[in-house]
Chains A and B, each alone.
Chain A
Amino acid sequence: MDLLERARTLAACPLFEGLAPAVIIRLAERARATQLERGERRTTENDVWVVASGSLAVGIQELASAEALATASVVRKHGSGALPGHALGLIRVVRPATPIVEAVAEVPSVVVGLAVDDVRDVLEEDPSALAAIADRLAALLLEPAP
């Protein structure tokens, strides 16, 4: 995946909808695409994952600890089929106390990963990006859940 493809994947995420294209590109510059084999896992402890293709089962960790993660059950499943644009861990960027999510590839999948620190840096470096995220959060709150 080149820079523009990674940027398109990130731009499809609802929380990034209000971001200026230049900010998305800066995020994409720091992102990396990862292919997940069936059964491969990723957590949102330190990373944000945006699904580019494939399907992932998702477990939400109620306690932010490795111990809890090991026993976390899948309490919410992220559909079955293509889930491009679904984001895991984004809320933790602005709210670190949010529970950690564990995603398991149900089929071979591609995700675009970003370090939580990197996303936070881009937002903190650019007040207009921060304001756009806040506006988007407010808008999402007012939308009915999908």
Chain B
Amino acid sequence: MNRRAFVLGAAMILLASLVAVALRAYAEATFLKAYGAAQAPWLLIATAAGFAVATLGYDALTRVAYTGVIDLGLLVVLGVVAAAAPELLARGTPPVVIVIALTAASQVANLALWNRVAASVAGRDARRMLPRAGAAVTLGGAIAGLSAGVVIPRLGLAALPYASAGITMLVLGLCIAQERALAAGGAPGGVQVTAPAVALTRIQRRLVAALIAVAAIEAVITTVIDLQFLSGVKRHYADHLGVALALFYGGTNAILFVLQISAVPRMLVTRNMRFTAAIHPLVVILSYLGFAVAPGFVAIAGTRTADQVLRLATSRTSQELELSAVPAAPRTRWKVLLRGLIYPAAAAATAYVLFLIGPALLHESTRVATAAIAIAVVWAIAARITAARFQTALAAPLGIQQARREDSRRIDLETLARWTEAAGDEQPAVAALARAALQRARVDPSDLADHLRHDEADVRAAMFAQLVRTPVPALRGELRAALAIEDDDRALAFGIKALTLAGDDAGIARGNERKGLSKDLDAVTRSAALLASGDVAAELPGLLARDPAWAVAILRARRDVDAAPLLVAAAEHPETRAAALLASVRIGGSAVLPTALAAGEPAAVAAIASIGELAGDTAIVLPVADWPPLARAVAARALAGAPAGAVIVAQLVADRDPEVAHAALRTALAFARGGTALPGARIAAALDTALAALVAHLAARDAPPASWSACARAELEVATGRCVARLLWAFAVEAAAAGRDPSPIAATARRLVGGSDADRKRALDVVQELHARPAILAAIERWLKSPVSATTEVDLAAHDPWLARLAAGELAAIEPALVALRRPGLFASIAGPALAELAARATERTLEGALFEIGTTGDAMFIVTAGALLARRAGAPDRRIEVGGVVGELAVLTHAPRAATVTAAEGGASIFAIDRAAFTEASRRAPELVLGLSSTLAGWLAPNRPDVL
């Protein structure tokens, strides 16, 4: 914000408003004196049309000449016309010409000067300060009204244009001063003189079209209210018309002024545009409903007051903000055209139509109210559409897309048959894809009921498999009938499982009928009997090895069996370990599971990730609170593709460990996108925890004790950015639970945390449009601003124990390594504890000669911490790797030979070496490390692979 330019601009438009009101009063009095009160409607039509034509002229001029010069010229013209008006009238110039010239020039000048004020502020500052500039306009109008009451009786009406001319010269001086202030201090909300002409995108054109519609409809309704009100005033206060109007304008301006300096700025930084833009039309609808119930002057006076106040308090500010999604040059232009052309033209047309229909119509209260309510409803809808288009236009430059997706997992029987056929394809990759699709597919049980006797055995097997995954007791009769004639052993095996899990053991008898014909069928039939009784302990190892999913079903059915020790024992054997882990997850955990997860064992991760694939998985509850933090975080990440694990993730989204909460919220967001909601209480807890953590981190930023090291301050910055991400993810999950699309919020989080400054500010506006709470907006806005000195006591340990220890100096030994590792972009944003672990495993070396030779193999990457390295390869110039640079990254992923010879530069170098094991371990805690490494590899790959651009 350019504060000096804003203050000068506010003073400038205050005086310009004063001039406009004074000249309008002079023009109206001159018109009525010359043509009589009967021609009053023509005054409205003539001045509105004059304003529209003058605006067109101003627009044409500003497109070929520098706007600053045009504005100064306009003020000179206004001053000259005002000073010459009485003399021109005396010499016989038609009064209507004087009236149109004075009102048009003063109104266009006000529009032009408003744009100059708007140039001094941008973003959130504009939301707070422009209503205050509007208050200056209101104050100018009020001063003009009161002053005119004093000046006219003493000096006569002709004093107004002379006084206006003098004040206009003062405005001219302020305008020049403000121009200099903008040149010196910048114009954040203005048009750069050197900026190229920008064409509007399709999204922006749609926004402008909607704004045109809203401005036109608003003008129609306001004109109807105006004429109805004036008609009522004439009837009720014919003898005191001037006093009545003065009181009305005084009261209206007083209310408006209070709103503009208090409620409106607050509303603009806390509520979205759908809310703000809806206020005016909704209040007009309610006012007219009141008018319809109790027609009379009081009702229409109230309607007119509300309309006048809200037009400037909410509708104009909405228009101003919605145009902020348009580039500066067209924004300035359309602001002028909407207010100076569209609005007055629509008002003039409405007045003309009403004039043709006849003023008597205005006295038919029911018909007028009905028509006005109908128009206002259309207006409210148009305002809502405009707000939605504003949101789209605001988000588009950030690459944020909003699209509704249908659930492609719900399939019909025909698709099931096609996918089932593909699952048997001779190409393994095609078959694997089809099986994965079938695994996530959901067929409506009612679709299955009529087709369980399908001609294709594979399709029948697929349908029975669906019913194994989702047992439907209501289909027991159909299943029994289907199994009675089922002659395909594979399908029958699935069918027996499905029927048994549905609570009917008739399938076992059917299996026994075909005993000896199929080994697999025999096994299923025998084990199905275990669901009710039998020696589970003896059969379990074989079952786990043969059919883990079926083993799980049996363990779930046999609650009389203590499965945990059996599974711990099974996990001791390599051939049954994976199945034992899978079953451990299903029975509510076992001692072996958290240890395996913390160690990153793929089978344990897969066991967690497969939650949802077996019947009854939605009821899984694991004692995650008792697990070590790393196991909790790994489990939370592993569940990303398993929405049936929502209950487990819900336990972790408000976890006391920020790394765990981070992973859980990321997963919760994946669920939300897929349509799975977490319990409302857990989401609220997650949101509160994330918000409290961010506020605590910001408080620490604003009031860091002197004892904090530079490393601690840097880590605080990283941790704060991660708090912002968690807060927005929690907000996105909450939005999804409320039926809104979480994707734009998630995308906004990415731009806020990793985007440029301009993107961050725009992203914050997008967040506001997405229904964010004021507390969330305030915290993020505070984060985006520079730190301010404060003395708040902060309990950081409650929100980030690791950072609190670092700040207390307990981790001073690893601080140099942390600082060195933070330099490369690869490690810039990973969580502090993960970096600390990497630092602990990194080895530091000083280097004089060669680090490695081209063509050799290695398993470590290196980060330069002091001095420099030189990379040499044939046919390419030497590449110097300075402090913070990384070499040998490929080695932590592959055994590929080194692509260059790397040596220490003159003077030697110090390096950190990170081997493959350390990197793999760290990337389990911080998967974004792999993304960073991929980015580096992609940079090398892109120029050489036209098939992967």
Query: Chain A: residues with CB nearer than 8 A to chain B?
Result: 2-4, 7-8, 11, 13-15, 20-26, 28-30, 44-46, 58, 60, 67, 76, 78, 85-91, 94-95, 97-98, 101, 115-118, 120-121, 123-128, 130-131, 133-135, 137-142, 145-146
Contacts and interface: CB of A to CB of B under 8 A. Distances in A.
A117 B747 contact: yes
B946 A140 contact: no
A14 B409 contact: no
A24 B948 CA distance: 17
A55 to B, nearest CB: 13
20 contacts: A14-B945, A23-B641, A29-B405, A86-B946, A86-B947, A87-B949, A94-B937, A117-B750, A121-B669, A121-B670, A124-B666, A124-B931, A125-B666, A126-B641, A134-B933, A134-B934, A138-B893, A140-B948, A142-B896, A146-B947
Interface residues of B, number: 62
Interface in B502-516: none
Given A127-B924, A140-B948, A141-B940, 6 more contacts: A7-B433, A7-B436, A24-B436, A26-B641, A28-B437, A29-B440
B432 A21 contact: yes
Nearest to B613: A22
A138 B894 contact: yes
Contacts of B518: none
B57 to A, nearest CB: 31
Top 10 nearest A-B pairs by Cβ distance?
A21-B436, A125-B640, A127-B927, A137-B937, A46-B399, A94-B934, A95-B938, A21-B432, A95-B935, A3-B408
B622 interface: no
A14 B942 CA distance: 13
A95 to B, nearest CB: 4
Nearest to B431: A21
A25 B401 contact: no
Interface string B423-465: 0000001101111110110000000000000000000000000
A130 B946 CA distance: 22
B896 A138 contact: yes
B401 to A, nearest CB: 5
B930 A134 contact: yes
Given A30-B405, A124-B666, A134-B893, A44 B949 contact: yes
Contacts of A88: 949
B939 interface: yes
B948 A13 contact: yes
Given A94-B931, A140-B941, A14 B948 contact: yes
A136 B857 CA distance: 19
B136 interface: no
A125 B58 CA distance: 54
B196 interface: yes
B501 to A, nearest CB: 23
B533 interface: no
Interface stretch (B107-115, B362-370, B414-422): B414-422
Contacts of B666: 124-125
A135 B409 CA distance: 29
Contacts of B305: none
B232 to A, nearest CB: 54
Contact of B667 (A13, A24, A125): A125
A31 B331 CA distance: 35
A25 B750 contact: no
B400 interface: yes
A120 B942 CA distance: 18
Contacts of B667: 125
B194 interface: no
Nearest to A137: B937
Contacts of B688: none
Given A60-B949, A124-B931, A138 B937 contact: yes
A130 B927 contact: yes
A76 B943 CA distance: 11
A94 to B, nearest CB: 4
Contacts of B411: 2-3
Nearest to B671: A125
Contacts of A8: 430, 433
A90 B433 contact: no
Nearest to A29: B408
B934 A22 contact: no
Contact of A130 (B419, B422, B931): B931
A63 to B, nearest CB: 14
Contact of A141 (B422, B435, B437, B890): B890
B329 to A, nearest CB: 15
Interface string B811-847: 0000000000000000000000000000000000000
Contacts of B124: none
A24 B641 CA distance: 12
A48 to B, nearest CB: 10
A58 B408 contact: no
Most buried by B among A88, A117, A123, A134: A134
Contacts of B640: 125-126
Nearest to A26: B641
Contacts of A89: 949
A94 B938 contact: yes
B99 interface: no
A44 B746 CA distance: 20
Contacts of B949: 44, 58, 60, 87-91, 101
Contacts of A126: 637, 640-641
A123 B602 CA distance: 17
B947 A85 contact: yes
B179 to A, nearest CB: 29
Contacts of B945: 14, 140, 145-146
B169 to A, nearest CB: 43
Contact of B435 (A21, A23, A58, A60): A21
A103 B896 CA distance: 34
Given A21-B435, A22-B436, A141-B941, A131 B890 contact: no
A14 B896 CA distance: 19
Given A3-B408, A125-B670, A137-B941, A22 B641 contact: yes
B930 A15 contact: no
B771 interface: no
A4 B439 CA distance: 12
A51 to B, nearest CB: 10
B786 interface: no
A132 to B, nearest CB: 9
Query: Looking at B750, B934, B935, B939, which has the most chain A CB atoms within 10 Å of its CB?
Result: B934
B893 A125 contact: no
B902 interface: no
A25 B942 contact: no
